[in-house]
Structure 1
Amino acid sequence: MKTFYKPESATIKRTVPQTALETFFEVELDERKTLGHKPGQFVEVSVFGMGEAPISVSSAPAPDKSSFELCVRKVGNVTNALLNMQPGDKIGVRGPFGNGFDVENFKGKDLVFVAGGIGIVPLRSLILEVLNHRQDYGQIKILYGCKTPKDFLFKDAIKSWECQDSVECRVTVDLGDEKWNGNVGVITTLIPPLEIDPQKTAAIIVGPPVMYRFVILELKSRRIPEENIYVSLERRMKCGVGKCGHCQMNSLYVCQDGPVFNYAKIKKVPDAI
């Protein structure tokens, strides 16, 4: 499915609360056709009578399925209305938009995924795609940081990833509680202990803007080449088609030229990192 201006009708099939602010959605297109997305792309979701919001797709591409998965955070009127909806309710979907991750660039490499907060949502799509074709990739390391233990998303999925061959998961929180016995500290504290071969490693980073600069500095200190570092700049997007200008960074439009960028190509773009 590729509809850029007119929303396609879709039905909410399933909802699963993840945290106090985020809910998982399984959505099916009413025409029973596949979304046709790449990992890292997003859709515009409409709540009729309220408006629309850009939301990352969190499921892997599935050519034989007419449903896809989202994880929605309550941040405004549209997402608040969406989180009050139930299975069977109708929504509109435009997209998919953006360039997404080019998985061909990652084949044969060791991969380090770095997710901060809700950044795990678009990364989940890529992680699942990689795990679905496990033989095409080397070692996989997944680093995930949140403010508190209550903020973690996809807890069961992370446990299942850890059980797979050559997959290492490390998590951290900024502030633990009485039940937390894991790492406490910012996400960069997870990088120094990693055993990596920098020349054959690609790093993929998704999270809040403040995180990128510090994570990239840590990765560069491990001698990972700049051209092997990828970021997803999911911010300020609105229309999805490069018309409103909300996501413009100089000559670049995040919704069209991104949201996925190679760090070496945008490191000098003002306000990008």
Structure 2
Amino acid sequence: MINNNSLYLPEIARIVSVRQLTEMEKYFEISTEGKKEFSFNPGQFVQLSVFGIGEAPISISSSPFNKDTVGLCIRRMGDVTTAIHKLEIGASVGIRGPLGNGFPVRELKGKDILFIAGGLGLAPLRSMISYVLEKRKDFGRIIILYGTKSPGELLFRDDLETWRQIEDIELIITVNRPDKDWTGRTGVITRFIPSLELEPQNTYALVVGPPVMYKYALLELQEKLIPENNIIMSLERRMKCGVGKCGHCQINGVYVCLDGPEFRYHTLKFLSEAI
């Protein structure tokens, strides 16, 4: 699907399905008009536009093996995303991408992978989790830690139930503020890292969540002696162009939209404004 023009000019795409995930999030499946496939790497994002309103950067949540459509988990929080939430099946949107660098998939083969997702952070990690499950024999131990503020904010509940039933997947789900019907774990997600038995040199930690989570996740991962090169984190910055031209997402000499949004900690620790 990708050509140079698709990085700068939005291509016409059509919404083929809409699913309400939570009060604030919907999952949209988008099909590009007249294109055979949409190829991307887990961890990449697109710029999605509503004509007459604007565009917003959205992480890709779907499996990279499904090339007919691209899946986007979108939180309603601004003019563009509010407009997107009002769209129905059959509506046209603009799409640019895929953009950015994804996760180092080849490097992760044969390794144990610890996914740490906070809140909406599960959306970009879902693409990588889907890849790993499709190629399960290529990877070692798989651990998924997922936490939200409340049970009502849990994303992709069907996926969570599917992952829970896979014998060689370790899944820990927790909420900070349980309701009266919640029977699962409680507390912030990082509190469950110390209890994990990990092989540091063979473990990669993929961390995506709110900025406040990163500091504490790093402390726990360092206690586990996970190498800095093996800790990969996703940065959220206000991205405008998505191709490193406008400078909105620049941190010192690094562009989140071009060099990321996935970064190794050994790079981030030298960027004072990064985390």
TM range (shorter): over 0.9
Kept after mapping to 1: 8 A contact 2:39/2:67? no
Q: Is 1:13 equivalent to 2:13 in the alignment?
A: no
Offset of 1:57 from its aligned partner?
Answer: 0.5
Deviations 1:192-240 (A, max 9, x none): 2212111211100001111111101101101111111100112222210
> Is 2:54 the partner of 1:28?
no
Give matches, 1:199-218, under 5 Å.
199-218=201-220
| Equivalent residues in 2 for 1:36-75, closer than 5 Å | 36-62=39-65, 65-75=67-77
Q: Give the equivalent residue in structure 2 for 1:177.
A: 179
Moved over 4 A (4+): none
Structure-2 separation of matches of 1:113 and 1:235: 21
Deviation of 1:105 after TM superposition, in Å, equals: 1.3
Match of 1:82 among 78, 81, 84: 84
Mapped partners of 2:30, 2:7: distance in 1 = 18
1:138 maps to what in 2?
Answer: 140
Q: Per the alignment, in what secondary structure is the counterpart of residue 210 of structure 1?
A: helix
Using the alignment, how far apart are the partners of 2:202 and 2:155 within structure 1?
29
Aligned residues: 272
Check conservation: 2:63, 2:130, Cα contact below 8 A. Answer: yes
- Counterparts of 1:143-154 in structure 2, within 5 Å, are 143-154=145-156
Amino acid at match of 2:17: R
Distance 2:236 2:133 in 1: 23
Q: CA deviation at 1:153?
A: 0.2
**Are 1:172 and 1:190, in contact at CA under 8 Å, matched by a contact in 2?**
no
Q: Please, what is the CA RMSD of the aligned residues? A: 1.0
Whole-angstrom CA distance in 2 between matches of 1:31 and 1:262: 37
Tell me the amino acid that sits aligned with residue 58 of structure 2.
Answer: I
8 A Cα contact 2:113 2:203, kept in partner: yes
Q: By how many angstroms is 1:272 displaced?
A: 1.1
Percentage of matched positions with identical amino acids: 51
Report what 1:99 is aligned to.
101
Q: Which amino acid aligns with 1:132?
A: E
CA distance in 1 between counterparts of 2:195 and 2:161 reads: 20
One-letter amino acid matched to 1:15: V
- Residue aligning to 1:195: 197
Higher alpha-carbon deviation: 107-116 or 263-272 = 263-272
Residues in 2 aligned to 1:174 and 1:225: alpha-carbon distance in whole angstroms: 29
In structure 1, what residue type is equivalent to 2:244?
G
The TM-score, its normalising length taken from structure 2, stands at: 0.96
Structure 2, unpaired ranges of 5+: none
The 10-residue stretch of structure 1 (81-90 or 188-197) with the greater mean CA deviation from structure 2: 188-197
Instruction: Give distance in 2, aligned partners of 1:165 and 1:235.
Output: 37
